[in-house]
Amino acid sequence: MPSQPEQWNAVDEYFADVFVGSDRALEAALRASEAAGLPAIQVTPNQGKLLHLFARMIGARNVLEVGTLGGYSTIWLARALPEDGRVITLEIDAKHAAVARANFERAGVAGKIDLKLGAALDILPSLQGPFDLAFIDADKQNNPDYFNWALKLSRPGGVIIIDNVVRDGSVLEAGSNDPTIVGVRKVNEMTGSEQRVSATAIQMVGAKGWDGFSLALVVS
């Protein structure tokens, strides 16, 4: 039976119902982000839960996120951490940061999150690792630099996750001059050939269309 995007969405929603359920803080964060006019490009509920589970699976205490938006993924990650755990999340846009900070307060996780406002590449050199998990989800043309920083700041056994590595299949456009496609392809090649990590990538269909993420385990 051929499948259709509407069915992919329906299955994604069904999984969100069954595995995530209703969550007041996360739903309030989405409503506040939408009301403030932020683009709805946060991870889906199912992907947010997956990030949360990855963090718990490795017993993460220190998480780095590049690209906060309204803090939806940040809340999922913060909830995975012990009381003294921290997410450092980097955001260039002051309006996004203000919405995110209010969302963190409402969700009761503000104490676990350190949002740093500025261009990620300006802030990353000042950060103190090691991080257990890094989630890279900002401007895609800088993905190669973000990956290098995440690797430098990760502990062995840590995990680096890069969002949006499929982008409706545009990742296959080898000759593209689009800086986002160039950045995504370059970081995939770097991640795949880097001897200090073991990695794979997963494509997904669902509420946010056709996209995916890569996951790299830092082995040394």
Strand partners, 202: 213
Secondary structure of residue 72 in the 3-state scheme? helix
137 near Mg ion (CB under 5 A): yes
Counting other chains too, the contacts that 184-190 makes at CB distance below 8 Å and 24 or more residues apart are: 184/140, 184/143, 186/143, 186/144, 187/143, 187/144, 187/146, 187/147, 187/162, 187/214, 188/214, 190/144, 190/147, 190/148
Phi/psi-derived region of residue 65, left when phi > 0, alpha when psi is between -120 and 50, beta in every other case: beta
Residue 12 touches which member of ligand DHB, Mg ion, ligand SAH, none, C-beta under 5-8 Å by kind: none
> In angstroms, what is the minimal distance from the CB of 219 to Mg ion?
25
Residues found near ligand SAH in the complex (CB under 6 A):
41-43, 67-69, 72-73, 90-93, 96, 119-120, 137-139
182 near ligand DHB (CB under 6 A): no
In the region spanning residues 128 to 167, those forming contacts with ligand DHB, defined by CB under 6 A, are 137, 163-164
> In angstroms, what is the minimal distance from the CB of 39 to ligand SAH?
7
Which of 43, 39, 38, 46 is CA-nearest to residue 15? 46
- 190 CB-near residues (< 8 Å, 6+ apart): 144, 147, 148
Choices 28-36, 122-130, 135-143, 189-197; region in contact with Mg ion by CB under 5 A: 135-143
211 near Mg ion (CB under 5 A): no
Out of 12, 23, 65, 163, name the contact with Mg ion by CB under 5 A.
163
Which of 161, 187, 147, 18 is CA-nearest to residue 80? 161
Residue 147 touches which member of ligand SAH, Mg ion, ligand DHB, none, C-beta under 5-8 Å by kind: none
205 near ligand DHB (CB under 6 A): no
> In angstroms, what is the minimal distance from the CB of 163 to ligand DHB?
5
* Helical (H) or strand (E) element with 135: strand 131-136
Indicate the residue among 75 and 151 with the shorter CB distance to ligand SAH.
Answer: 75
Interface with ligand DHB (CB under 6 A): 41, 137, 163-164
Interface with Mg ion (CB under 5 A): 137, 163-164
